A and B are shown apart, each in its own frame.
Chain A
Amino acid sequence: MNTALNEETAPEDLQAHLSRYGAVPYRGRTSTLIPDLEASGLTGRGGAAFPVHRKLAAVARAKGTRKVAVANGAESEPASRKDELLLRIAPHLVLDGLQLAAEAVGATEAHLYLHAAPGPQILRALAERTAQGVDRLPVTITQAPPRFLAGQETALINRLGGGPALPAFQPPRVSERGLGGAPTLVQNAETLAHLALIARYGPRWFRAVGTPEEPGSMLTTLYRARVRTEIHEVAIGTPLRALLGDGPQAQAWLVGGYHGTWLPLPQARELTLDHASLRTFGAAPGAGVLAALPADRCGLAETARITTYLAAESAGQCGPCLNGLPRIAAALTELAAGRANLQTRANLERWSGLVTGRGACHHPDGTVRFVRSALKVFAPEIDRHARGQCAATSREPFLPLPDRAPASEQDWI
């Protein structure tokens, strides 16, 4: 399966949605959906691929009269566009998933966390559902600030609680103590759409595509030379070269977005889009951002530009992240500009080691994964830059970053 989603598709209204998929299959009891999710093998599509049934079971099991279910549509990774498109063209699938997940864990509150102000499609969808009595729980919408960390789950909890979207230090897990202390389920918007389909068609249907170990499909955001960004639904296990192409116009692949991994070509050309295959190169599918860096661009310049953004996006709460990421970004900028000295690479290695595993959240680790893969894949470029050369013929940035740089503390709200 490899289906391009058409951005122009009109959103399906509630009537069309229900006649295509049938009524929302409420079970009338908590927990009964969970074994089906376990049998389906569904994992989270927000980046970490955590088994969905385990999170639902944890919240269902947790004690509390108040429980919360959240659809995470923050999509704070600037290169990812899949949740935004999904929420625009199939809002009812995500909202079905939110209600069904809420029922399965016994939630008393449902929330939708969005990257931007809610679009008319979502507002209309919610109004239709309320009017027709489809939703068992009213849905509260909260807007995420346009920051890279805003979609991280403890940042989400802080924002939903009225505070800034900053990560918190765990434990406990949000499934035990989340919003206002209540056990909280946070699932990515796409995950909930899959959940709504599994609830209707069952685990066997879900497993018809994908690999036996990693079943189902996932949404990907694809970047290739000279074509516009595309969102494809693809079977897990699809060959990367079927998605990205590996002809001479691509010099390297990026898999998993800005916390992801650069892959060398042609060495990586046989890899497939699943953990088992990508792991052999230290990579993972993440939230499905896949890019083929055109041969005329500088991988070092791209990496330096993105790392500078990632460093600026540090919440600045943890010493190693606050001190390390800007230094790493500055060193990469020197490498890319051919201004590095002998010390620069040693510094990069040392700082990468010093920030890893020492933040309250995964941001330093993800950033270092991205940087280290660049140092490996673009090693020949680094040597060339040290001699004052660069193979790129275009300086035009390839991968997207937000237009507006963060300016103040207020930006976290």
Chain B
Amino acid sequence: MALVINEEQNMLKSSAKELLDLKSPISHMRELRDDNYNQFDIDLWKEMVEMGWTALTIPEEYNGLNFGYVGLGQVLEEMGRKLTVSPMISTVLVSTTLISFSKNEVLKRKLFDEIMNGKKLCSLAHEESSHHNPNVNLSIISKNDEKFILNGKKRFVIDGSISDYLIVSANNESSGKLELIILDSKSKGITFNNKVHMDSKNYSDISFNNVEFSNNDFLSSNDDGQKLLSKTLDISCVGLAAEMLGNIQQAFEMTMQYLKEREQFGVKIGSFQSLQHRSAIMFGEIELCKSIVLKALQAIDSDDQNLPELASLAKSKLGLTSKLVTNEAVQMHGGIGMTDDSDIGFFLKRTRVTQRTFGDSNYHLDRVAKINNY
């Protein structure tokens, strides 16, 4: 497949840009933050639903648009440029993806319907420690007569505070296998500890204390929980990398603009060779990022068996490059870059969180090495 986006995908990208230019410029993110870290603008969400963004990856048989992940990636990239605050990552990228792999048809139809129409928000609760580690899971599902009971603690749940549903990973006490269940976030026994992070977004630590649920709430079946989770995490890495690609392109362009405006010593600071060379190096790194993000998005749509490696390459490359670009962006802005009045710091702060989400570059480079047998 040619490493370019097609006309339809390009149109989706332009329409996303148009909407976000209008309804979600960077100042909108600042307003929400200043409104006591508001996480959710319902009007903006309705517009996104209207545009079909919640249906992009849902198959036609469930009344979705079946537009694919290259398309979703374009939207996420544009959102990254604007630092848009919305449940697109938690509900659409992560949850919809996981639900799409489920064999629980009844649940799937209902959830797709609710998500597509913007009625419900959903998030995945899977992390348990300070670092991403999908292999450690201490949460336990036990059985009591006809009822199932969940006990455990989850961390860093994206949009946990606004989600209607929580998809939780936990080990089945009887089989020892990983299961994925979906719970109403208001269920008895669920306690939230909502925490604002550096990017002004809310992440929840959640404890599950004897939470009861039924046989119908399982998204996993026949021991496929681990498979569902790893596939979902791979795709989530790629989607998040697309957002990060938007972040760094915007931060880079804003910095180049500043280099062409700001004067010191009677000349534009962009004429200083030390800044020129560092800028040229960033340009090259961003070119590399564009290639791996597109390749990995295409790999999702074509069900490429190399997806795990490509996802890890994407997440590690974007992790490293976003560190480089956002640091340089602040540095090249000088004192202004340190002020809250300037937007440039937002990119530093957002990417410091996303670098860690679903595993940082240390985790993913280690995984690349393991995939390649060393």
A binds B: no
Q: Footprint of B on A, CB under 8 Å?
A: none
